[in-house]
Every structure is written in structure tokens, then in C-alpha cells.
Amino acid sequence: MPPVDIGERLRALPGGSAVTLKLDPQEYADHYFAVLNATLRDVGTETDAHTIYVTVTNPASFVWGLAQALDVAPDRISFVDAISHIMMDYRNPLPNATYIESPRALEAIILRVEYLLRKNPHPRAIVVIDSVNSLAIHNPPELLTEFFHILLNMLKSRQVLTVVLDVGEEQTSPVEMMLNLIVDETIDVAREGS
């Protein structure tokens, strides 16, 4: 059976869907670029689409550099950057980014995402959260579970396609078990991605 195209799978999902894209840590660079290609270029460049990319693993400047390599227009993407401050990588702030002090500021992340959805009203809104594992490093499981329930319910009610990146190990972690309860689908990039 040929590999399934991640971009096609995401385009087929209705608004309000939430999906986890599981990346293999051994193949992180290849899988990460395949996911950016699918989310930012394939789905994010659909007519009337806008992507809000929540960065907790890589700074917005890094993701923006990759997005430019994929020919993503600056008006098609906004960033909520929750990692640059603690990495001390905010010398040249992006005009399409809003910066949060820390990945622990979960309420601020929700409020910024909500603000950007209002500021950039598009029929096809996509929110990418990169990644659940980085959020789990900075937040206790109970708080993270509450964060995802609130955020995903808000995004589902607004018909936003939500993509959560998970750099998963073989064993099922408490974070993955929590995600399985709140997302509609999980796509294993190693098994299904191209």
C-alpha cells in the first residue's frame, strides 16, 4: 500500500477537527519538514486559509525560515511564540508573531490564539501546536489536560482545524493517553506520511 499524503488527509478533515501528528524522534528532521509541508503549504495555502502556529519547541524565526522555503506568504501565517524568550532568541521579532514569556503561560497562549482568530478571520483557520511534548516538560499533566480541553473545545466551536505535534516514543505516555481522549484522529507520520 502506498504511503498516505499527510496534506491530503488534513485537507479532507472538516473544520472543527483536531488531529495529532505523531513524529518519530529518530527521524525528527525529516518528519518535521514533512509536517510543515503538509500544514503550512498544502493546507495553509488553500483559498481563504490562515495558519496560527504556536511555537513551544522551535522559535517562530526558525519555523518562519522553513515556511519561506516552502513559499508560504507572510499574510497566510501568524505565530504565538512561547519559547523565544526563555531561549533568549527574540532580538529580531517577527511582525507576524506575538511573544509570550514562557510555555507555562497557558492562559496567555489561549488568549493570543483567540485574539489572532479574531484579527485574521478566515473561513479555513488552522492552529498548529508544536509540540505537546515541549508543553509537558514545562507544565504538570493536570494543568496540561485542562489547557487542551479548554483550547480544543474553543477551536472546535469556531470550526478551526487543530493540529497537535507529538514527538512520541514507542510506549504510551500519560500525555499521549490524554491526547487520545480529546483529538479526533492520530496520524503516525512514520507509518503513513510521505
- pTM recorded for the entire structure: 0.92
Per-residue model confidence (pLDDT) at position 192: 63
> What is the reported pLDDT for 172?
67
Q: Where do the domains of the chain lie, and which CATH numbers do they carry?
A: 6-192 (3.40.50.300)
Instruction: Look up residue 112 and give its three cell numbers.
Output: 493570543
CA dihedral over 112, 114, 182, 22, signed as positive or negative: negative
- Mean pLDDT of the 37-56 span: 91
Question: How does pLDDT run across 115-169, given as a tens digit for each residue?
Answer: 999 998 988 999 999 999 999 999 998 899 999 999 999 999 999 999 999 987 6
Find the angle CA(75)-CA(67)-CA(28) to the nearest 5 degrees: 145
Residue ranges of alpha helices (H) inside the chain are: 6-12, 28-36, 60-69, 84-87, 106-119, 132-138, 141-157, 174-182, 189-192
- The stretch 68-76 carries a mean pLDDT of 92
Q: Answer yes or no: are the C-beta atoms of 129 and 162 closer than 8 Å.
A: yes
* pLDDT value of residue 178: 80
Eight-state DSSP code of residue 172 = P
User: pLDDT, tens digit, for every residue of 25-35?
Assistant: 889 999 999 99
88 has pLDDT over 60:
yes
For residue 19, what is the enclosing H or E element? Answer: strand 18-23
Mean pLDDT of the chain: 89
Specify the pLDDT at position 138: 94
